[in-house]
Amino acid sequence: MRRELEGDMVFDASVLVEVIFSTVGGRLVRRMLVDEVLFGYVTELAVSELRYVVCRMLGRDEAWRRVDKLLASGYFRVEEISPIVTLASEYKCERAISLPDCFSIALGEYLSMPVLFARREKELVREIERKPFDVDILFLEDYVRKHGESA
């Protein structure tokens, strides 16, 4: 089921990377956060993944500065992973997707909200086609196309 890009939703680390680097999709998400059309929930694991991805690209000091600034914005709520460890583990046992993706999807199920990924990763798409998840899985790249390159 396709939804609009609005309301509360879980953001995978890939979406946070887009925001940090102000890609077309990242600018779209940032504008929607600022306009209070969208609010994001992220796992502690997604924050960890964001830090190391940005660190590899920009170095530790710049990565920590940017990630801390993003988290201080108040547009995201970081959720502890302990309540969803078992559910994420079940997904990882049954599905051929990354552990961080399992945690993002588990948080979406736990909070009863859709999960937003930056792009259609082949492993995730394959698993959705094999057996749909119990939550809506959305892809930022679809909304970038919908809203045009000026996002």
Q: What domains lie within the chain, and their CATH numbers?
A: 7-147 (3.40.50.1010)
Nearest one of 77, 79, 48 to 87, comparing CA atoms: 79
Q: What is the dihedral of CA 136, 115, 96, 48, to 10 degrees?
A: -170
Q: Residue 62 has what pLDDT? A: 96
In the numeric block, which tokens belong to residue 136?
């809506």
DSSP at 78: E
pLDDT in tens, 112-139: 999 999 999 999 999 999 999 999 999 9
Q: Residue 1 has what pLDDT? A: 41
| 140 confidence band (pLDDT: 50, 70, 90) | very high
The torsion region of residue 101 among left (phi > 0), alpha (psi -120 to 50) and beta comes to alpha
Q: Rounded to whole angstroms, how far apart are CA atoms 118 and 24?
A: 11
Q: Residue 146 has what pLDDT? A: 73
Cβ atoms 43, 98 nearer than 8 A: no
pLDDT in tens, 77-125: 999 999 999 999 999 999 999 999 999 999 999 999 999 999 999 999 9
Q: Is the pLDDT of residue 149 over 80?
A: no
| 148 confidence band (pLDDT: 50, 70, 90) | low
Cβ atoms 117, 137 nearer than 8 A: yes
| 151 confidence band (pLDDT: 50, 70, 90) | very low
In the numeric block, which tokens belong to residue 131?
């057996």
In the numeric block, which tokens belong to residue 105?
């999807």
